[in-house]
Chains A and B, each alone.
Chain A
Amino acid sequence: MDFDKVYAPVYKGTKDFDQHQVRMTNATGFGASADDYAERGIDLNEELVRNKPATFFLRVTGNAMTGAGINDGDIVIVDRSLKVQSGKIVIAVLDGEMLIRRYEKTFNRMRLLPETEKLAPIDIDPGCETFGIWGVVTYVIHGV
């Protein structure tokens, strides 16, 4: 897109921190050299939320995607800024409902595929006005 050339993106995602957030190790003597290697601890947001304003968390109900490791009650992280590609797991909007399915697009048809035996794939009529892609699922948070 032309836009990207005109304005350099300055959005830093969630990696927006400064040097003062790195703590001192507070040791003297031999241990003080640890200060040279002090860095920021691991922050889940940094890895899981790549684009903060476009990232949403949603709760999954039902077993439509158990085959993909997404179970009833799990939380999915959804990035709305990503381009939809065939084969991605998406949040789709169909007839006013939000569905989590795998999106499949071949040259002449679109389908929403569940990852369970119990549900059937949904064929999408290309002219369907009540269909849309809400966002692309990037991670699933699953308690063990």
Chain B
Amino acid sequence: MYALVDCNSFYCSCERLFRPDLESRPVVVLSNNDGCVIARSDEAKQIGVPMGAPFFQYRDLIESNQVAVFSSNYNLYGDLSMRVMDTLRGMVGESNVEVYSVDEAFLDMGQNFDGKIAGSLKERVEQWTGIKVSVGAAPTKVLCKVANRLAKKHKEATGCSLVLRDEADIRQALEETEVGDLWGIGYRYAEKLRQLGITTGWKLACMPGEWVRKNLGGVTGLRIHRELHGEACIPFKDPLENKKMISTTRMFGKPVTLKNEIREAVATYTARAAEKLRRQQGAAGSVEVFLVAESGGKFSYHPVKSALSARLPKATMLTHELSRYTLALADALFESGPRYLKAGVILSDLVPDERVQGNLFTAKSREGDRYLMEALDNINFSQRDEKVKFGASGLTKAWKMRQDCKSKRHTTRWKELAIVR
């Protein structure tokens, strides 16, 4: 049996943990740069704030309903996410937890799993971390998703935990699940299936496997189909898998037109991406820089993306080597005229750092650089806030993203602890 533990409106729950006065008030959390709504509490859903709603468009609705609005505070969410995952690891064993995203994890529960254990999982996470979770358990991951969705949908009836074990339970759950809500069935396939009259998960499960293989993208579709029948096909992933690609991208606080500011931003993102790269002890063989600019009329939003990439002569994890390339790419991309909204740096062709092969033409020993990076990372890790950085990153950062209603970092900064009276 697997279980999917999923935090209920996670970002909103995090904001509420230190603000009990918001317990029954609607809460929304905005994306980076306060652009659109990325998390809503149940109350906010009820008053009709859609997911992804642009903030400025819904400002009146939000203000007239006294919705509490927060900029995203990833320091807080990240810390609480780790606490939730640690609590789960403590209960079922480290190797049986697969962190699927910041607010969900699959657990490998062995055979003796029942509703009672699901209930105690839920209770303990809530007691220890203050974050409410829903538990959906079933023999396969796809069915876990189904169970979790139903547990959340019928909060009162299920108490936020649902175990699908018998065939009858599974059938009933699948009959209640729209085909488009199944894990792994994308928008296009869902549309196609609906047109064929296959509207629910159960109807899909009833189709012959051969048909599914032909019509639902071959093996991938077949896997989902088998999972619906309770045959586990999607493996439990190694949680420590290294990333294949590292990207850092942010919206600007206001449109940027100066080359200098674009360079600063690209240098900053490169430094950030390189830090992430070193944390997984990798080196990058290729870099890509992209810029997104406004275009068209003042009242339409059709951003134009331009990108350039380069293959490095030798994979590297040094910030100053990487930024030499990313800055050159930024220079080549930049045009005076467009108002830029966003920039990003992507590192790819990642290899483990130890295995970086030497190149005949770059003989220079890089031990010193390596120590420099280590020192840099250590200082920034302990002192935080980019205490030490390369000059290219700029000092003023006028382009920095807007976060007007960010809550305090209650769990990661001494100076920002929550207050009790």
Query: Interface-forming stretch among B59-67, B125-133, B137-145, B352-360?
Result: B125-133
Q: Are B21 and A61 in contact (CB under 8 A)?
A: no
Cα(A1)–Cα(B411), bound, Å: 29
Cα(A57)–Cα(B112), bound, Å: 37
Q: A54-B83, A61-B421, A134-B20 in contact; A10/B117 too (CB < 8 A)?
A: no
Cα(A52)–Cα(B90), bound, Å: 11
Interface size bracket, A side: 35 or more
Please report which residues of chain A, range 66-104, place their CB below 8 angstroms from some CB of chain B when the two chains form the complex.
Answer: 75-76, 80-81, 91, 93, 95-100
Tell me, yes or no, whether A53 is within 8 Å of chain B by CB: yes
Select from chain A the residue with minimum beta-carbon distance to B23: A96
Q: Are B420 and A11 in contact (CB under 8 A)?
A: no
Q: A2-B116, A81-B128, A99-B420 in contact; A56/B411 too (CB < 8 A)?
A: yes
Tell me, yes or no, whether B386 is within 8 Å of chain A by CB: no
Q: Are B419 and A58 in contact (CB under 8 A)?
A: yes
Tell me, yes or no, whether B86 is within 8 Å of chain A by CB: yes
Q: A10-B93, A53-B90 in contact; A62/B421 too (CB < 8 A)?
A: yes
Tell me, yes or no, whether A138 is within 8 Å of chain B by CB: no
Tell me, yes or no, whether A64 is within 8 Å of chain B by CB: yes
Tell me, yes or no, whether B254 is within 8 Å of chain A by CB: no
Q: Are A98 and B20 in contact (CB under 8 A)?
A: yes
Please report which residues of chain B, range 379-421, place their CB below 8 angstroms from some CB of chain A when the two chains form the complex.
Answer: 410-411, 414, 417-421
Select from chain B the residue with minimum beta-carbon distance to A3: B120
Q: Are B120 and A97 in contact (CB under 8 A)?
A: no
Kindly identify which residue among A6, A52, A76, A95 contacts B420, using a CB–CB cutoff of 8 Å.
A76
Instruction: Return the CB mask of B11-25 against A: 1 if under 8 Å, else 0.
Output: 000000010111100
Please report which residues of chain A, range 8-23, place their CB below 8 angstroms from some CB of chain B when the two chains form the complex.
Answer: 9-11
CB distance from B407 to the nearest CB of A (A): 14
Cα(A80)–Cα(B187), bound, Å: 42
Cα(A134)–Cα(B130), bound, Å: 8
Q: Are A59 and B420 in contact (CB under 8 A)?
A: yes
Cα(A60)–Cα(B121), bound, Å: 32
Kindly identify which residue among A3, A54, A61, A130 contacts B129, using a CB–CB cutoff of 8 Å.
A54
Interface SS of chain B: helix, strand, loop or mixed?
A: helix
Q: Are A97 and B20 in contact (CB under 8 A)?
A: yes
Q: Which residues of chain B come closer than 8 Å to A100, judged between CB atoms? A: 420-421
Instruction: Return the CB mask of B100-137 against A: 1 if under 8 Å, else 0.
Output: 00000000000010001100110010011110000000
Q: A7-B93, A10-B90, A53-B129 in contact; A59/B417 too (CB < 8 A)?
A: yes
CB distance from B16 to the nearest CB of A (A): 10
Q: Which residues of chain A come closer than 8 Å to B121, judged between CB atoms? A: 3
Q: Which residues of chain A come closer than 8 Å to B117, judged between CB atoms? A: 2-3, 6
CB distance from B254 to the nearest CB of A (A): 35
Q: Which residues of chain B come closer than 8 Å to A61, judged between CB atoms? A: 419-421
Select from chain B the residue with minimum beta-carbon distance to A56: B411
CB distance from B213 to the nearest CB of A (A): 39
CB distance from B26 to the nearest CB of A (A): 15
Cα(A75)–Cα(B415), bound, Å: 11
Select from chain B the residue with minimum beta-carbon distance to A1: B120
CB distance from A4 to the nearest CB of B (A): 9
From B20, B23, B124, name the one whose CB has the most chain A CB atoms within 10 angstroms: B20
Q: Are B91 and A9 in contact (CB under 8 A)?
A: yes
Cα(A2)–Cα(B124), bound, Å: 13
Select from chain A the residue with minimum beta-carbon distance to B116: A2
Q: Which residues of chain A come closer than 8 Å to B414, judged between CB atoms? A: 57
Tell me, yes or no, whether B92 is within 8 Å of chain A by CB: yes
Q: Are A91 and B127 in contact (CB under 8 A)?
A: no
Tell me, yes or no, whether B94 is within 8 Å of chain A by CB: yes
Q: Are B417 and A57 in contact (CB under 8 A)?
A: yes
Q: Which residues of chain B come closer than 8 Å to A57, judged between CB atoms? A: 411, 414, 417
Cα(A61)–Cα(B417), bound, Å: 11
Q: Are A96 and B21 in contact (CB under 8 A)?
A: yes
Select from chain A the residue with minimum beta-carbon distance to B82: A53
Select from chain A the residue with minimum beta-carbon distance to B88: A53
Kindly identify which residue among B94, B130, B419 contacts A59, using a CB–CB cutoff of 8 Å.
B419
Cα(A91)–Cα(B329), bound, Å: 54
Q: Are A53 and B83 in contact (CB under 8 A)?
A: yes
Q: A11-B86, A54-B83 in contact; A3/B91 too (CB < 8 A)?
A: yes
Q: Are A99 and B421 in contact (CB under 8 A)?
A: yes
Select from chain B the residue with minimum beta-carbon distance to A95: B21
If A80-B127, A80-B128 are given as contacts, then 14 extra A-B residue pairs at C-beta distance below 8 Å, sorted by A number, are A3-B121, A11-B86, A52-B86, A53-B86, A53-B129, A54-B87, A58-B419, A60-B420, A60-B421, A64-B421, A75-B417, A81-B127, A93-B20, A97-B421
Name 27 interchain pairs, CB-CB below 8 A, sorted by A.
A3-B91, A3-B120, A10-B94, A11-B86, A11-B87, A11-B89, A52-B83, A52-B86, A53-B87, A53-B128, A53-B129, A54-B87, A54-B127, A57-B411, A58-B417, A58-B419, A59-B420, A61-B419, A62-B421, A80-B129, A81-B127, A81-B128, A95-B21, A96-B20, A98-B418, A98-B419, A99-B420
**Which 10 pairs across A and B sit closest by C-beta, in order of nearness?**
A96-B21, A11-B90, A54-B128, A53-B83, A53-B86, A59-B417, A3-B120, A93-B20, A100-B420, A98-B420
